[in-house]
């Protein structure tokens, strides 16, 4: 594409204007009969400047859509309302929230990375002194390996408030998660690492 005062002008690759009888070079592209989709980018029609202006003046992107579809397409978050597995609150892991347990997702990534680095370096951290069940409980609580008793209590009260049905309008969907948090707290508060 060359610098030109007409945005969207392409170097002529031998395309002629698609309008019958026009002998001008087709330097501007417009959507063709097959739209872009799963099978590829679709087809283009090539027009000269005058005919692409005519095409654009009569083009209706919403043609064939119902009123609901038009409103949905105009929504600023159109296409972003679907949660992907990695960014759901439970991250697709045992129904346990992972990303949602942290104010900043980078904290979750940092915690995991520091655990991996510590084990690779052979350093014994507070996390390494925990039993496998205590480590699992610590992960269920969303705490770092160097958490103290105060952080454990604070995190427990946050999670109980978050998952208790009374705080969720009677919604019992998080009841299993609440049970895991209570069980994890009961195990960790008796642990020697938090003594």
Q: What is the pLDDT of residue 38?
A: 60
- Mean pLDDT of the chain, nearest integer: 76
Domain housing 128: 86-194
Alpha helices in the chain (DSSP H): 49-58, 67-74, 105-121, 132-141, 149-163, 175-189
The answer on pLDDT for 93 being more than 60 is no
User: 90 pLDDT exceeds 60?
Assistant: no
Contacts 24+ apart (CB under 8 A), 59-62: 59/30, 59/31
Looking at the structure, tell me whether residues 91 and 8 fall in a common domain: no
Whether residues 22 and 100 fall in one domain: no
**Looking at the structure, do residues 101 and 189 belong to the same domain, yes or no?**
yes
Let me know: does 28 contact 52? Beta carbons within 8 Å.
Answer: yes
Q: What is the pTM of this model?
A: 0.38
Closest C-alpha among 152, 150, 149, 130 to residue 141: 152
3-state secondary structure of 16: strand
How many domains in the chain?
2
Are 19 and 103 contained in the same domain?
Answer: no
Confidence check: pLDDT of 26 > 50: yes
Q: Is residue 73 part of a domain?
A: no
| Section 87-99 average pLDDT | 51
Q: Over 80: is that where the pLDDT of 36 sits?
A: no
């Amino acid at each position: 594409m060359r610098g030109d005062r007409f945005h969207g002008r392409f170097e002529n690759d031998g395309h002629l204007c698609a309008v019958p009888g026009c002998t001008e070079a087709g330097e501007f592209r417009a959507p063709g009969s097959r739209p872009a989709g799963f099978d590829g980018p679709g087809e283009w029609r090539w027009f000269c400047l005058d005919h692409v202006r005519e095409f654009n003046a009569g083009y209706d992107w919403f043609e064939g859509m119902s009123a609901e579809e038009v409103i949905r397409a105009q929504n600023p978050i159109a296409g972003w309302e679907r949660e992907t597995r990695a960014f759901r609150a439970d991250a697709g892991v045992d129904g346990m929230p992972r990303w949602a347990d942290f104010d900043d997702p980078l904290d979750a990534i940092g915690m995991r990375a520091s655990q991996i680095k510590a084990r690779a370096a052979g350093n014994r951290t507070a996390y390494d002194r925990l039993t496998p069940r205590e480590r699992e409980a610590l992960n269920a609580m969303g705490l770092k390996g160097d958490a103290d008793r105060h952080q454990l209590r604070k995190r427990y009260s946050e999670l109980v408030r978050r998952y208790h049905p009374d705080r969720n309008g009677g919604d019992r969907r998080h009841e299993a998660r609440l049970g895991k948090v209570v069980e994890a707290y009961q195990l960790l508060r008796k642990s020697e690492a938090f003594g």
